[in-house]
Structures are given as structure tokens and as C-alpha cells.
Amino acid sequence: MITFGSTQSFVSIVHIFMLILLCFMAKSEASNSKVSAVYVFGDSTVDPGNNNYVNTPFKSDFPPYGRDFPNQSPTGRFTNGKLGIDFIASYLGLKELVPPYLDPNLSDEEVMTGVSFASAGSGFDPLTPTLTNVVPISKQLEYFKQYKNRLENKLGKQETENHINKAIFIISAGTNDFVVNYFMVPIRRRSYNVAAYGHFLLKHVKVFMQNLLTEGARKIGFVGLPPLGCLPIMITLNSNNAFLERSCVDKYSAVARDHNMVLQHELFLMQLNSTKISYIDIYGPLVNMIQGHANLGFDEVDRGCCGSGLIEATFMCNRNSHVCSDPSKYVFWDSIHPTEKVYHNLFVANRHLIDALING
């Protein structure tokens, strides 16, 4: 038994504690050093500000977006603070914030550890990005190829290949395809029922994934759809009295459940011996936060923090909008996008899958 009878004993205990702490940190760093960078593709859930540099009305580079960033700086993220990809990058020990690829001021050092190519409003259906003039998924892949050329000029071809092989890729898109393109705009509904449209999207998913694998991706996290019927804008547009009777519209959430099930199966079939593909579930954790909100510190689950919370998003959520006093009490920041707290909770819920990619 160790006692604190002398200064020497106390110092020894401090040394032992520091040694244990250093060993733990070394183990953590050794694990995370398996990942060279994080690369991101998709929509507003993972766009840290690419749309700032795109001629589109679908932007968020103005207050109150970014309210909980230092100096309340609007970065182009469609939330009050960080996105899930920022928590992932920090966990991997790469950087605190994932930058947008289209930022012309990015240094080689910043680019080296990863960027996001995502564009808010985009989707897998080629029609989806044309509705708001944003960057298509296919163009995001072209940007990645440009990025690889930049990396090769700095590292050489073989080292670049090794760097890409050790990187983690995150893909998050599909919500705009269903919510905006299919349910709000009737063009696709004239040609497809909802199940057929889902299969149409999956064909585009498979083409994108095959192209990404061809470019060297080996560790991929693919984010599924959220409960679509629980998005405040979907509740507003599909309720008899959206001001008084607000609850998830299950027929839309059922579409997400069915699509996610088929998506998981398709992703499983794409895995090769040299690849690790993880399906990242946000549907279940979001439903848990909504249904168990009282135990998780949430007061509002069916409307956003910005404006009325019923329909505002992007330019409708602006510096003139009323903003709730505490976004951490809200599941949604605007009528579509989660708050920073929710993004953090989603990261925690899927951290084991990130660990699987690290060690995959």
C-alpha cells in the first residue's frame, strides 16, 4: 500500500500517473496515425463552406449560421457550430475543422490532412444539384482527382497512393434527392414510384462508389438517410395543422427506412478484401433523440431554433430571424439541419464504426 507520508512518495505517484497518461496518449496516437486524411463528399450535412464559392442561393455564410463558432463566425456550415465531419477529424487527430476544397486560400499542409468536396443541396440524382445550381456528386469526384494531382506534385505518385489508401472517406447524401427532388418537385414522380426512384438512386450510388474505389479509396463510411418525416419542414408541409399538431410523418420516414435497408445490402456487396465500407446509421440515433428528448436535454424536437423553426432554411434563416436562446435544447437548427449538439451525438453513436475503419 502506498501512503502519502513524504514528498518523495507523492512525487513518485505523480511520475507513475504521468507515465500511464503518456502511454495512453501514445497508444491513442498510434491508433490514429493509421489514418492519413479525411475526404468528404455529399450535401449540406457535410459541406463546411464550398457553396460560399458557388453561384447558388443555397448558402449559409451569414448570421445566424455559425452562432456558436468563435466570434459567431458564419463559415458556410448549415448549423450553429461544428458538423459531424469536424468531430471525426478531431477524433482522428488530423485537424479541428475540415475545410472546404473550394477555398482558394488553403495551404498544402492544410489540404494534406483532408478536405470536404461536398456541396449543400447536392444529391446522387443528377437532376438534384441542377435545382439549386450546386456541385454535383460527379463533379465532386472530379475535384478529388484534381486534388490527387496536387498531392502527386508534392509527394510523388507512390507516396500519394499510399496516402490515399490510408485515408478515411465519408459520404453523406440522398436527403435532397427524396425531400426536394422527389416529394417537393414532381418531375421524378412522373416517371418513378418511390421504390423505383430508390433503385434509380442506388444505381448512381454504385457508380460513384466504384469510381471512388478506382481512385484508391479503401476505408469508406457511408451515411444513411435520416427519418425524413421528422424533419421540421416535412412536418410543416404534410400536417393538417402544422402550428398545433406537430409530429413525425411516418410515411416519409418509412421511405428512409426501406432505402437504408437496401443501401446497407448494396454496400456489403461492394466490399472487397482490400476495402472496408461501414454503413453509418443516423436514422436510429436521431429517432432516439426525438423520442427520448427529455432524458437527453432536448426541449424542442419538431421545429428549428432559427425563425419560426417551421420552414426557414438557408436564406430564409438570416440575420433578421429570431433565434432561440439555447440551440443545445433543440434537435434542429433550422427546418432541415441538426444542431451542433446533435451532430456530436451522432458522431458518438457511430464512433465504433470510425474505429472499425481506422483498424480495417
Q: What is the residue-averaged pLDDT of the chain?
A: 91
Report the distance separating Cα 253 and Cα 271, nearest Å: 27
The DSSP annotation for 256-309 comes to: HHHHHHHHHHHHHHH--TT-EEEEE--HHHHHHHHHTGGGGT-SEEEEESBTTS
φ, ψ for residue 279, nearest 5 deg: -80, 125
* CA atoms in the 13 A half-sphere facing the CB of 43: 25
> 313: which residues sit within 8 A by CB, 6+ positions away?
78, 233, 304, 334, 335, 336, 337
Q: Mind listing the domains of the chain with CATH numbers?
A: 35-230+252-291+340-358 (3.40.50.1110)
How far is Cα 187 from Cα 82, in angstroms, rounded to an integer?
A: 34
Integer-rounded Cα radius of gyration of the chain: 22
Burial (CB < 10 A; 0-12, 13-18, 19+), residue 125, is buried
Compute the distance between CA of residue 302 and CA of residue 230 in angstroms, rounded to an integer.
Answer: 7
Place of cell 410523418: 249
pLDDT tens, position by position, for the chain (360 residues)? 434 344 444 444 444 444 444 444 433 443 446 899 999 999 999 999 999 999 999 999 999 999 999 889 999 999 999 999 999 999 999 999 999 999 999 998 899 999 999 999 999 999 999 999 999 999 999 999 999 999 999 999 999 999 999 999 999 999 999 999 999 998 999 999 999 999 999 999 999 999 999 999 999 999 999 999 999 999 999 987 766 678 999 999 999 999 999 999 999 999 888 899 999 999 999 999 999 999 999 999 999 999 999 999 999 999 999 999 999 999 999 999 999 999 999 999 999 999 999 987
Catalytic residues: 44, 334, 337
Q: Identify whether the C-beta of residue 151 lies closer than 8 Å to the C-beta of residue 204.
A: no
Residue % of the chain over a pLDDT of 90: 85
Q: According to DSSP H, which parts of 177-271 are helical?
A: 194-214, 232-237, 250-270
Give the pTM. Answer: 0.90
Number of CB atoms found within 10 A of residue 195's CB: 12
